[in-house]
Structure 1
Amino acid sequence: MVAFDDQFRRQLRELFIWRRDVRRFRTDPLPEGALERLIDIACLSPSVGLSQPWRFVIVEDGARRRAVIDDFKTCNADALASYSGERAARYAALKLSGLEEAPGHLAVFADKASDIGHGLGRATMPETIEYSVVAAICAMWLAARAEGIGLGWVSILTPTRIYESLDVPQSWKFIGYFCVGYPQAEFDRPALERANWEYRRASKEFTIRR
C-alpha cells in the first residue's frame, strides 16, 4: 500500500488552490507529447462500470480551429446582448477564451453508445457516463497544472457546430472544449473573482446534514 505523508497532502492542497481556468496564454508551443501524456493521466480516472467513455479529439487543423473560434465569437456576442447596464460592461471586459493564443486545442466527448463496461451501474443513472468524463477532465486539469500547463474550458460554443467542425460521431456527447498552453501569469484566485464578476463561497454554504 502506498502511503502519502502530510507534506504531500499539503502540496496536493496547494495544487488545487493554484489550478486555474486559464484564458490568457503564451504562444509557446507545448513540448512534444504533452497533450498525449495528459490524456494518459486522464484515462486513469474512475468511470462507471469501468466504461472508460471518454473520447479525446486533439484539434490541430487550422480550418477546424478557425471554425471553433468563429462560433465562439458569435455565441459570445449573443451572450453579451443578454446583459445590460453595468453587468454588460463587466461582461464585455472579460476575456472568456484563449482560443487564438493557446497552442493546444482539445475537445472531449462521452461515448454514450459504447458497450465497454457492459452497462454496469448506469441503468438507473445513465448520466454517470458524462460524469465519468468530467472526472477525467478534472484529473487532467490537475496533472497539467503540476507541469505548469494551463487549461481553459470554453463553454460559449454551439455543440451542433462542434460536431460539424470536428466531424465526430453524433452518438458522442459533447462535454467540453479546452485551450491548452502555458499561462501568461499564475494566480491563486479565479479570474472571475479578480474581475468582481463573482466570488468563491465557503464550503459550509453548500453543505447540509441530514
Structure 2
Amino acid sequence: MFNASAALFLGWLVGYERYLHGRASGSQVYCLVCTASCALATVFGAGSNVAGSILTGIGFLGAGIIVKSGVSIRGLTTAALVWSSSAMGILIGLGHLEAAAFLALLFIVCAAVIPKLEHRLPAQKALAVEIDYCPGAAPAPEVVRDFLSVHGLSIHAESLSVRYEDGRYRLEFMIVADFRQDERTLISTISMELQRIPRLDRFSIARTTRA
C-alpha cells in the first residue's frame, strides 16, 4: 500500500511539471503508469521478465504521444517522461524508493531546468523555408545561397530539395542560424530580404522544434 502511494505521488510530481508547461498528456497518465508499474513489480518481483515487458509496453504508449507536423516534432520529452515514470514505478515496487525519488528529481530538472540553461548557451537552430516560384520560373538555388551568405547564414547540408507541382517549382531547405541573435529580428530580416528574389510568388519560414 505504501509503495503504491509513493508511486502515485512521484508519478504526479513528474506529470505536474508537464501539465504546468501545457504539454501533452495530463498528470493522471503519469500517476497510472507509475502506480501500475509499481504494482506489477511488487507482485512479480525482480525474478521475472515483467520489468522489460512493462518498459516495452509503455514505449508503445509513448509513441502515441509523439506528433510530427511538417519539420517539427512534438511530444518527444513527454513520451520519454511517461516511459521514465514506469521505471520509477518498477524501482518502487522492487523496494528502491530512494532511487526512484532521486530519479523523479532528475527528471524534473531535465524537463524544466536544462532547457532554460541551454537557451543561455551558444547554439545553432534550423529554420525551415519553402519558396514557391511564379508559374514558368525556374528555381535558382545559387541566388538563394548567395542571399544567405551575405547575411551570414547557410543552407543545412543535404536539406535542399526541388519540387515541381501544378506548373510551378518549389524550393525547400533548412537555414542554419545562430540564435544568440534576436530570433524575431532574424526571421523578420530574412522575410524582408526573401521578397527580393526574382520571380518569387510566395514563401514560408518556420522554426523547427523537437520537444
**TM-score (ref. length: structure 1):** 0.27
More helix by share: 2
* Higher relative contact order structure (alpha carbons within 8 Å, sequence separation ≥ 6): 1
More strand by share: 2
**TM-score (ref. length: structure 2):** 0.27
